[in-house]
Structure 1
Amino acid sequence: MGLRTKQAIAIVVGVVVAIGMLLLGLWQMSRFQLSMEDVAAERGAMPPVSLSENVAEDGTIADIYGRIVTLEGGFRPDHNLLVGTEWPMRSVVAFEMTDGRTVAVVVGTADRGATLPEELLEVSRLEGVFLGGDASGDGETVPSDAPEGSLPTLRLQSMVQTWPQPMIQGYVTVAESFSAEYGLGRADALLPEGQGTAMHQGYAMQWWVFAGAAIAFSIFVARGFAKDEEKKRARAERRLAAQAAATDVDAESASEFTGQ
């Protein structure tokens, strides 16, 4: 088998193995995403629970993240802000529960220039998905024409400084039907990443690293074939040189013998 053929086979095998490992990494991530969606759907399908009854006086929150919660009290429209990096932005309003604690509520999305509907003042009971604060969003910025005080992500630690206390460390996103009733756009519930996200991403990355290693190894093998071929050629040349030298010596000896 020729050198080029052996090198081509080594590279092709490496590429095939790498493609297989890339697909395994993608499969790993997709399976994890599906499992997370299943968990989120299961929690969202659970019966609603009272938010006030699941948040202790010391602020400890029961296992209700991702579940639908109910609240009773009233909105405090004097404490509101917009959240997002582009229009439409999420409209967040303070809701004071009957026990005196405050929770941030995403009532929908609003385009530039929109104002809070006055009808929100009449709301005394609502329900929505309870979530923790958004990811930090470092480096993200709000639109240049967003109102002062707007945030790129819903950072509860920033709001604690100015919103009524005590404030629950989590926020509620209402259903699309509620938002539509008050002329606002739909706000999706931004479910937090699961605890195993980084781990599963690591598993997927391992497969992709293995894929790169497979390509590198196939190149190494192909170069090894070339080096072996060079060594064989060098040995053959040395043999030929030795044979040629021996022939010259024999010829010289024969010439000397004939001359004598």
Structure 2
Amino acid sequence: MPLRARQALVILAGVVLAAVMAGLGLWQLQVFTDQGNASAQARAQQSAVPLLDHVGADGTVGDVYGKPVIAQGQYLPGQQERVLGEDGVVRVLAALRLADGRVLPVVRGTIAAGAEPPPAPSGQREQVGIFLPSEPGTDHALTSGYSLGSVRLAQLAQLWPEPLMPGFITLDAAESAAQGLSPATVQLPSGEGSWRNSGYALQWWVFAAFGLGMALKIAQSMGRRERSRNVTMGGG
């Protein structure tokens, strides 16, 4: 068999082997991602717990992000914002003052763009929702009448004078409807899958690179041996 054909077969075998290993790495990474998503969903389906039992007066947060919480307090009249997301969805964010004086931002639901939100309910309320940390800032343009592009607590603190809780909740569909709003989608935080699967994915990709490199090296070595043999025969 000609040299180039043998080299091509060696390289082809290396490419096929590397592709298989890369595919195994992607599969392991998907397992890692699926485990994380399942973990986040499981947290979101747990029984609701009192928020103030898991957030200290100094702002220390226990293992409660991504879990349903119960918050009791009163909505501050007229203190709510319209949050215009990058996707055009407008969330209504209201200030619920808790028993300790801090304010919990509450996503009551959504409204049509340009519409005015209904006022928040009056009196003492018990609200249940998934407690989430501050959202990252955004850089999309905000039309007139909107001051927030996300529920970013550092930015909200410049609009509301009261001390804020280190997170916010989003009401479920039933409660949003009861308050005259459409439901808001909750973006659950990414859970952590088994780091063992993440490590396996990295190992497969290292093996793939090593295998492909070895195939190229073997093909080059075959060429050098062939040239050396030709030189020897020519010299003889």
For this structure pair, what is the TM-score category when the shorter chain's length is used for normalisation? 0.7 to 0.9
Q: Which amino acid aligns with 2:21?
A: M
Q: Which runs of 4+ in 1 moved over 3 A?
A: 180-186, 193-210
8 A contact 2:35–2:192 mirrored in 1 = no
Q: Which amino acid aligns with 1:171?
A: F
Q: Paired residue for 2:139?
A: 141
The structure with the larger Rg is 1
SS of corresponding position for 1:86: coil
Q: CA deviation at 1:168?
A: 0.7
Deviations 1:30-84 (A, max 9, x none): 2222222222232223221111232222222222111111112222342324052
Structure 2 gap segments, 5+ residues each: none
Q: CA deviation at 1:10?
A: 1.5
Equivalent positions of 1:192-211 (< 5 A) are: 192-194=189-191, 204-205=201-202, 207-211=204-208
Structure number with greater CO (CA < 8 Å, separation at least 6) is 2
Q: CA deviation at 1:225?
A: 1.9
Q: Paired residue for 2:183?
A: 186
Equivalent positions of 1:49-68 (< 5 A) are: 49-68=49-68
Deviations 1:151-173 (A, max 9, x none): 2x432122223324221101112
8 A contact 2:28–2:200 mirrored in 1 = yes
Q: Paired residue for 2:170?
A: 173
Distance 1:19 1:110, change over 3 A: farther
Is 1:215–2:212 an aligned residue pair?
yes
SS of corresponding position for 1:121: coil
Q: CA deviation at 1:185?
A: 3.8
Deviations 1:152-207 (A, max 9, x none): x4321222233242211011122123234445443332222346799976764554
Distance 1:7 1:89, change over 3 A: farther
Deviations 1:89-147 (A, max 9, x none): 333222212332101112223332122122x224722111011122x35xx42345363
SS of corresponding position for 1:169: coil
- In structure 2, how many angstroms separate the alpha carbons of the residues matched to 1:20 and 1:42? 33
Between the two proteins, what is the percent identity of the paired residues?
32
Equivalent positions of 1:18-167 (< 5 A) are: 18-76=18-76, 77-118=78-119, 120-122=120-122, 124-134=125-135, 136-137=136-137, 140-145=138-143, 147-151=145-149, 153-167=150-164
SS of corresponding position for 1:103: strand
8 A contact 1:102–1:164 mirrored in 2 = no
Distance 1:22 1:177, change over 3 A: farther
RMSD over aligned Cα atoms: 2.8
Equivalent pairs counted in the alignment come to 234
- In structure 2, how many angstroms separate the alpha carbons of the residues matched to 1:39 and 1:14? 38
8 A contact 1:79–1:163 mirrored in 2 = no
- In structure 1, how many angstroms separate the alpha carbons of the residues matched to 2:196 and 2:161? 38
- In structure 2, how many angstroms separate the alpha carbons of the residues matched to 1:198 and 1:79? 41
- In structure 2, how many angstroms separate the alpha carbons of the residues matched to 1:109 and 1:23? 41
Distance 1:64 1:111, change over 3 A: same
Q: Which amino acid aligns with 1:220?
A: K
SS of corresponding position for 2:148: coil
Q: Which amino acid aligns with 2:79?
A: D
Structure 1 gap segments, 5+ residues each: 240-260
Q: Paired residue for 1:257?
A: none
- In structure 2, how many angstroms separate the alpha carbons of the residues matched to 1:203 and 1:81? 45
8 A contact 1:110–1:185 mirrored in 2 = yes
8 A contact 1:86–1:143 mirrored in 2 = no
Match of 1:232 among 194, 210, 229: 229
Q: Which amino acid aligns with 1:95?
A: L
